[in-house]
Amino acid sequence: MRLSDDIMKINMLCLADLLCAVLFEFIPAVIIQKIGSSDNIGPIIGVSRTIGRVFEGITIILLMRKNIKIDIPRSAWKNHVVE
Please report whether residue 78 resides in a domain.
no
Distance in angstroms (rounded) separating the CA atoms of residues 29 and 41: 9
Please report whether residue 82 resides in a domain.
no
Please report whether residue 83 resides in a domain.
no
* Total domains, the chain: 1
Please report whether residue 80 resides in a domain.
no
What does the pLDDT read at residue 67?
Answer: 67
Domain that holds residue 59: 5-34+41-65
Task: Return mean pLDDT, the chain.
Answer: 77
Distance in angstroms (rounded) separating the CA atoms of residues 75 and 52: 31
Task: Assess contact for 68 and 62: CB atoms under 8 A.
Answer: yes
CA 64 to chain centre: 14
Residue 1 clears pLDDT 60, i.e. is over it: no
Q: What angle do CA 78, 68, 7 make, to 5 degrees?
A: 40
pLDDT bucket at 72, cuts 50 / 70 / 90 = low
Please report whether residue 74 resides in a domain.
no
* Measured CA distances, 33 to 40, 44, 61 (Å): 12, 12, 33
